[in-house]
Structure 1
Amino acid sequence: MNSEEDIEMLSRVISFDEVVKTSIETFRNTFGAEPDLAACAPGRVNLIGEHIDYNDGFVLPMALQLGTVIVGRRNGTDTTCDVVTCSDSIKEGTKRAQFDSSTIAKGSPKWLNYVKGVMFHFRQPVPGFNAVIHTNVPVGSGLSSSAALEVATLTFLEQLTGKKVPSPAEGAKLCQRAEHTFANVPCGIMDQLIAIGGRADHALLIDCRNLDTEPIPFDAPELAILICNSNVKHELSSSEYPIRRKQCQEALELMGLASYRDATVEHLKALENANEVLVRRARHVITEIQRTQAAAEALKAKNFVKMGQLMTESHKSLSEDFEVSCYELDLLVEVRLGHVACLERV
């Protein structure tokens, strides 16, 4: 723990029912009316398939019971949008903002850019509305609070306007573009797809090359998914993430391939004169794609021991070859390895 504030943060995870209740009460108190529209989207945890969604790989996330809620209604104006957030992670004074839906531009407060980005790429006239946003997905925790907000916004806009995106995949791509252009985060597509397509008691195998999805049953009452907060803050746009993307692409080009889906470990020989860093990055991507496919088969067979082994191998690769772990995460995995009944995803 970094401070007493961190300990307090861990104790303040609120229930989804409380999120909904607070959203409605805040709307009523702020706007003097009852909301008549509501939308929500879940956070997610990725079981396996790390840093390969932007490398044409497979990923295996599952939706969480944590989620983001938007409640609202039309306000009788043509284009004036008035939005309030209840999030404790947002500083007072920046929790309410107004903007014009006909002249959307990114700016301050930063949290509103996720909403604006989705509205901009929605490409439909949006009437004036009032809305309240609330969530129990911890911000910056790696549980995809941003994608949950984007997908909840998209669902809210569909209800508000009566216009629908053609498919879940198109909706996910719209939200991804919003994050790229309005939040300046070069994210992959996984988070948005699971937020749109997740279902109870299932993981979702996503083919990130063509966006095909396959629900994988994970109905095991004797098991629980334990999500551990390392208290290491996750900030995608200011992290090593863009560097890793560039390194992966450079290694792929040196191997003379168009996609990592065409790559095998044998192709690493083409990198024998390249920087060792590029070799490690490519090795992680190639082997992680293989592990993720094997993990989906293990879940189908209810072979949870095999699943745990694959997840452990995944972390080792992330730590040693992709170098995106840290002391705190490695320690959590080390502790987990002392308990054979535990799977691991940190």
Structure 2
Amino acid sequence: MADLEGALSFKPSPSVPLYKDLGAVYKGVPGVEERYKQITEAFKKAYGAAPDFYARAPGRVNLIGEHIDYEGYGVLPMAIRQDTVVAVRRVPGSTELVIGNVEDDKYPTQRFPADPDQTVDVANHSWANYFVSAYKGAFELLRATRPDDVPAPCGLEVVVHGQVPTGSGLSSSAAIVCSSMLAILSAKGVAPEQLDKAAVAEAACKAERYVGVTSGGMDQAISMMGQQGVAMHVEFNPVRGVCVVLPPGATFVIANSLAVSNKAETAPKRYNLRVVECRLAAVLLAMSLGMSREDALAKVRTLRDVEPLIAEQHSGAHDGATCAAAVAQHLKESYSLAELEEALGGKLADILFAAEPGSVRALQVAEQDKYAFPLRKRAVHVYTEAQRVLDFRAVCEDASLPPGERLAKLGRLMSDSHASCAELYGCSCTELDELVGIAKEAGALGARLTGAGWGGCMVSLVRDEQVDAFVAAMSEKYYKPRVESGSLSAAELPEVLFATQAANGAALLVPQVELVPA
């Protein structure tokens, strides 16, 4: 699937910005200064001094391109205003990482050695594991990029405050890992202009795997590279992005299903299992298209790797429809574990996933459950979703079409994406499907789950003049019964249902104003 270039796109700035003015980062967002005062007060209360600086990284909403980043395909997300802030202070002479949180009743303070080679205790999941993963990843990046100038470990005092709801599909994990890694690298003396956004995003993606999640890289890339007012077409190997200007006249509205799916805790039966299924589909498809089993096992890691073989047999064509047709021709609807091991010549954990603990665990759970692997559906979703991303960007860049027509096309692509996620990839849930149905009835041009799925959020495309009525309808039909049942308070409604515009990505802050509560 070919790359696209167009007049309504441009390259993002490459290095992490350093701001002294909170308003320059949080354009038009209310309550920012009070929030930073609260973080500062919590820091002073915990450690007796103010932090040296702050690092922040936002969550994201993926507009289209679900579960394809780890298959090598580009995605099209945008950063949102909700973020995670990490306040940090170096403690020379100390050998301890002290990781606190503004919400210390919910996220108690944790202490770890300042050892970048320590093992993350995945078996006993702790919120602070994300910071430790970022700490390990920061030193890996330093060792790779400046092997002769790696700073010695030293103690850090940290306070974290996150606004991205956990388990919501808005990338709370990427927000904390990216902001933590920025804070750690800066505390180790790396200047902002030397902090390459793409390099930090790749390092953060690898680091998140220490908490047991096989991430594809989209979440970290947009958290690091997002820019105010535009979405971004993010591609991988290497990570790179192109800012895409969205057509005027519509707003994205995010609605939280309130069904929680914490990626790290549910990965063996959900996220990591899908990664395994795609690898298996890619290897089997390559073999069916003529590649030897030995080569397929050694060389094929993603469905994108199989595209050249498909093109060879289809007169050079490798668009989404052509790839999906090849899948339908060459892959069975589903496979048992025994069939897969017979076809591939051994235990899957040994021949394909020996170096991937998350994948091995997913296979163990699948074997216990006597799971049938629906590889055809998974592969068809990946190929057609990858095409929808390219189509989405092409529509945004097609200045020959009136904005209203472009918006209608974008809405249809979003709705088609949700149908594929639900029916082919099996990553929706009852609550998300209900939300999408209500959104369409309320006038959305298109609606789809966003994030890994199995809970979390939905994003809708709504004409500007209809946003207020749309939000009111969603509130009445989906959230009012939950408020009445007591599962949601009315005060929480603005945090689970809100309109949003694209916001800035990661940044370092050394505010000029004194952040002292009144």
Q: TM-score range by the shorter chain?
A: 0.7 to 0.9
Q: Which runs of 5+ in 1 are unaligned?
A: 1-13
Corresponding residue of 2:252: 225
Counterpart selection for 2:378 from 281, 291, 298: 281
Map 1:43-54; keep pairs closer than 5 Å.
Answer: 43-54=59-70
- Kept in 2, the 8 Å contact 1:87–1:135? The answer is no
Question: Secondary structure of 1:255's match?
Answer: helix
More relative contact order, 1 or 2 (CA 8 Å, 6+ apart) = 2
Amino acid at match of 1:145: S
1:307 matched to 2:397? no
Corresponding residue of 2:303: 260
Counterpart selection for 1:337 from 418, 433, 440: 440
What is the number of equivalent residue pairs in this alignment? 328
Question: Percent identical across equivalent pairs?
Answer: 31
Q: Please give the per-residue CA displacement for 1:220-253, whole angstroms capped at 9, x wherever unaligned.
A: 4x43221101011112131411111111111111
RMSD (CA atoms): 2.3
Residues 327/15 of structure 1: CA separation in 2 closer, same or farther (3 Å cut): farther
Counterpart selection for 1:251 from 276, 281, 293: 281
Question: Secondary structure of 2:281's match?
Answer: helix
Counterpart selection for 1:126 from 153, 157, 164: 153
Please give the TM-score of this superposition, normalised by the length of structure 1: 0.87
Amino acid at match of 2:162: T
Q: What's the CA shift for 1:39?
A: 0.6
1:141 matched to 2:154? no
Corresponding residue of 2:189: 162
1:191 matched to 2:223? no
Counterpart selection for 2:263 from 236, 240, 243: 236
Counterpart selection for 1:323 from 426, 440, 445: 426
Q: Which runs of 5+ in 2 are unaligned?
A: 1-29, 140-149, 290-299, 308-317, 336-373, 449-457, 459-518
Report runs of 4+ in structure 1 exceeding 6 Å deviation.
Answer: none
Corresponding residue of 2:476: none
Q: What's the CA shift for 1:52?
A: 0.3
Corresponding residue of 1:116: 132
- Kept in 2, the 8 Å contact 1:86–1:95? The answer is no
Question: Secondary structure of 2:256's match?
Answer: coil
- Kept in 2, the 8 Å contact 1:19–1:136? The answer is no
Question: Secondary structure of 1:325's match?
Answer: coil
Q: Measure, in 1, the Cα distance between the counterparts of 2:156 and 2:165.
A: 26
Residues 248/283 of structure 1: CA separation in 2 closer, same or farther (3 Å cut): same
Deviates more, 1:151-160 or 1:47-56: 151-160
Corresponding residue of 1:204: 232
Corresponding residue of 1:77: 93
1:35 matched to 2:33? no
Deviates more, 1:188-197 or 1:124-133: 124-133
Residues 131/178 of structure 1: CA separation in 2 closer, same or farther (3 Å cut): same
Amino acid at match of 1:268: V
Q: Please give the per-residue CA displacement for 1:4-54, whole angstroms capped at 9, x wherever unaligned.
A: xxxxxxxxxx95544422211101122121222111000001000000011
Q: Measure, in 2, the Cα distance between the counterparts of 1:289 and 1:202.
A: 20
Q: What's the CA shift for 1:296?
A: 1.2
Q: Measure, in 1, the Cα distance between the counterparts of 2:163 and 2:241.
A: 26
Corresponding residue of 2:119: 105
Amino acid at match of 1:327: T
Q: Please give the per-residue CA displacement for 1:52-71, whole angstroms capped at 9, x wherever unaligned.
A: 01111111110000000011
Q: Measure, in 1, the Cα distance between the counterparts of 2:438 and 2:181.
A: 40
Amino acid at match of 1:155: L
Counterpart selection for 1:86 from 102, 117, 142: 102
Residues 35/248 of structure 1: CA separation in 2 closer, same or farther (3 Å cut): same
Residues 267/15 of structure 1: CA separation in 2 closer, same or farther (3 Å cut): farther
Question: Secondary structure of 1:228's match?
Answer: strand
Q: What's the CA shift for 1:326?
A: 1.1
Counterpart selection for 2:75 from 54, 59, 82: 59
